[in-house]
Copies of this chain bind each other. A is one copy, B any other.
């Protein structure tokens, strides 16, 4: 079996192929998280069936996969344990949790904390208020940096060359028909975010939703995440939403910044 080309920055002798394949198996459920037969796992993870069997049995034994009711294997509860460890390891999440709860109560809208991660941003805290679509309630969801108010709020605090690099590497597919995907349009939004200290998006990720986000910066003024407030266009005009709620998001994000 031939080692793949070395992962950037890691000596290939230090890179464990079998561990990577096990991660491929877990990641194979990202495109479709429903239970899978070993054959399906093999196909989705790019393995042969023997490999899927061995990796599947190992992950099953450790609780990272579980048997599906109708046969096959599904993801296992141990993934929640690892996520719990992640959430409690992150001081920003711990500091933000009570503040965002206050913000949710004060605004009566959905409030999120996202973490900036290069070409995507990932939601770490999701606090529902009214009725939400299911995925909007789940920690761990990723959204492209270029298309999210929180992502653009963070990009606003990066040097232009770094922004250009991220945009160039981003797969700029639209999430809705309102998603801005052209670099000049996105740059316009980033300049606006630089001027306003927050960024907003209207129906770019979800039809009917207006959302604004203010960046959280670390001690070196580098963006590490964003505080989001999301509302419904059936209840808010865009201008009202921004006028009323942006100062609150900016205040919360500032209070979280710097440490």
Contact with B along A117-155 (1 / 0, CB 8 A): 100001010011001101101111110000000000000
B89 close to A75 (CB less than 8 A) = yes
| B33 close to A86 (CB less than 8 A) | yes
Residue in contact with A81 in the complex, picked from B19, B30, B35, B81, CB distance below 8 Å: B30
Would B14 and A83 count as touching, CB distance under 8 A?
Answer: no
Q: Is the CB of B54 within 8 A of A16?
A: yes
Tell me the number of copies of this protein. Answer: 2
* Docked complex: A196-238 residues within 8 A CB-CB of B: none
Cβ contact within 8 Å between B16 and A55? yes
Residues 85-100 (chain A) with a chain B CB within 8 angstroms: 85-89, 94, 97-98
Question: Which of B33, B74, B140 sits near A80, CB closer than 8 Å?
Answer: B140
Q: Which residues of B contact A23 (CB under 8 A)?
A: 62, 64
- How far does the Cβ of A40 sit from chain B's closest Cβ, in whole Å? 14
Which residues of A64-79 are within 8 A (CB) of B? 64, 74-77, 79
Partner of A84, one of B57, B61, B128, B141: B141
- Which residues of A7-22 are within 8 A (CB) of B? 7-11, 14-16, 18-20, 22
A contacts with B, residue count (CB < 8 A): 65
Tell whether, in the assembled complex, residue A58 and residue B16 are in contact, meaning their CB atoms are under 8 Å apart: yes
A169 contacts B by Cβ under 8 Å: no
A142 and B63 CA atoms in complex are apart in Å by 14
Encode A44-59 as 1/0 by CB contact (under 8 A) with B. Answer: 0000000001110111
Q: Closest approach, in angstroms, between the C-beta of A59 and any C-beta of chain B?
A: 7
30 contacts between A and B (CB under 8 A): A14-B54, A14-B58, A15-B54, A15-B58, A16-B18, A16-B22, A16-B54, A16-B55, A19-B58, A20-B58, A27-B82, A29-B89, A30-B85, A33-B85, A33-B88, A76-B86, A79-B82, A80-B86, A80-B124, A80-B139, A80-B140, A81-B122, A81-B142, A83-B83, A84-B140, A87-B139, A97-B134, A101-B128, A101-B131, A139-B139
